Structures are given as C-alpha cells and as structure tokens.
C-alpha cells in the first residue's frame, strides 16, 4: 500500500502536473528479492518503466545502506555498546554496502540530471563491509575490547535476509556513464515480452490491481502469490503473519 500504491499515485501526479524529473529511490533489496519490501521496490521500478514517456523524465536509482539514515545499524550498535553489550550481529559472514548521506544525495541528483527517461541507475558502492568487523571496530573506538569487555553475539539471519546484497540481477547489463560512480542498467526493448509499452503497462496495472485487492482483504497468501507473478525472481519465504 505504501511502496507500490504510493509510488503509482506519485507517478500519475507527476504526469498530471507536468513535473520535469521523477527519480525513484530504490534499493539493492529489489535484486532477487527475498522479502515483500524488496519485491515491492522491484514492482516500483517496473511501474517507472511503464509510465515513462509521458512528458516527465522518469528513472530509478538503486543502492544499498546509507550510514546514519533511519534504520542504519550503526546507531543500534552504539546504543548496545553504551548498555555494555551484547552487540548483536545476525551472521559472522553477512556483508553490506555503505555510503554517507551527502554521497547518496549528490549521486541521486547526478543520476536525475543524466537520466533521459526509463533508466535504472546503479550507484557504485565501493567494497562491501562485514557487519561483524564494523561492530568490533565500533567497540574498539569506544575504548573497549570486543569479546572481552563487550560480547559480539550472532543471532542468526532473519527471515528473507541475505548474506550478501546485490545491485544487479541476472540478465541486467551495466554500462558506465559520464560520472565515475554512476552506472546504468541496459534496458531491453521487448517490454517484458509484451511487445509494446502500452501492453506492458496494461498487463502490469491489471496485476497490481489484483495485488491491491489481496492487500485490502489482508490475504497474505494472495499477496505472496501475486507478487511472485509480477516479480518471478522473488523468492517467497514461508512465515506466519501476526495481525
């Protein structure tokens, strides 16, 4: 309701009011998604492609974690350290890409300026960092020793959580742009096998309408099934929904 419907409303309003540029901030979790959030963001990317060409330049920007943003792991680690631990990490091998808020903001603006419409931009995130190493570094920076003064405890991967995040999925090719930190995905011309953008948009909107109906009915299995139809690479995780 928030990610997909909200995005659709914004796309339609951008066209109605002749907005010059529309940049969807997507996520690396949209690549081979393993949870509803990632799958919903992939649907948003498809919506951008389906609505483009109506006077507004529409594009998506896909990247990973932003240090200091809402939901960032670093404030959580600091709070756990202040309490004396333990610092909880899901898995010893889990890695993530990170960038700063100014970096992310500047690169979004750069991608928006470069975009002609329909592109999905990938922001070069550098080298992925082990979350366990980050936790130990933060403990040392606080004047403590990891696993001596403050325990690093592994809690296990959460449902739908990946060890390694990816920025592109199979079949997506990337090409450089004039900005060294921005790449763009090659887009095919077959509109997901639909032949034309109009047919692609109609098919996608029919699927999304059925998804909205399932959401209104709180039909968890129906939501999963419809999301899988829209995003075939979505790896559905079985879980219990608590309302």
Q: Strands, DSSP E only, in the chain?
A: 21-25, 57-62, 65-67, 87-89, 95-96, 98-100, 120-123, 129-130, 152-154, 174-176, 182-185
Q: At what angle do helices 197-216 and 3-16 cross, to 10 degrees?
A: 130
Q: How far apart are CA 68 and CA 10, in angstroms?
A: 26
The dihedral over CA atoms of 53, 56, 62, 67, expressed in degrees to the nearest 10, equals 180
**Residue 2: exposure state from Cβ atoms within 10 A (0-12, 13-18, ≥19):** exposed
CA nearest to 207, candidates 29, 2, 4: 4
Active site positions, annotated:
29
DSSP 28: G
Burial class (CB in 10 A: 0-12, 13-18, 19+), 129: middle
Say which residues have a Cβ less than 8 Å from residue 108's Cβ, sequence separation at least 6.
Answer: 23, 25, 61
């Amino acid at each position: 309701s928030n990610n997909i419907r909200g995005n659709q409303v914004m796309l339609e309003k951008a066209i109605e009011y002749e907005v010059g540029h529309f940049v969807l901030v997507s996520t690396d979790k949209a690549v081979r998604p393993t949870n509803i959030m990632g799958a919903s963001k992939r649907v948003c990317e498809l919506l951008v492609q389906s609505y483009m060409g109506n006077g507004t330049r529409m594009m998506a920007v896909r990247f990973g974690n932003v240090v200091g943003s809402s939901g960032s792991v670093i404030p959580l680690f600091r709070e756990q350290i202040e309490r004396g631990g333990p610092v909880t990490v899901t898995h010893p091998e889990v890695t993530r890409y990170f960038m700063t808020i100014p970096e992310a903001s500047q690169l979004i603006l750069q991608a928006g300026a470069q975009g002609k419409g329909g592109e999905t931009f990938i922001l070069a995130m550098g080298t992925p960092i082990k979350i366990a190493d980050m936790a130990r570094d933060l403990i040392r920076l606080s004047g403590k020793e990891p696993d001596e003064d403050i325990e690093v405890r592994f809690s296990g991967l959460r449902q739908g959580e990946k060890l390694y995040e990816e920025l592109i999925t199979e079949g997506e090719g990337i090409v450089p742009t004039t900005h060294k930190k921005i790449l763009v995905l090659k887009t095919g011309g077959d509109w997901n096998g639909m032949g034309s953008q109009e047919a692609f948009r109609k098919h996608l909107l029919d699927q999304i309408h059925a998804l909205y109906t399932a959401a209104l009915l709180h039909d968890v299995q129906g939501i999963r099934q419809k999301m899988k139809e829209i995003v075939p690479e979505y790896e559905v995780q079985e879980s219990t929904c608590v309302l």
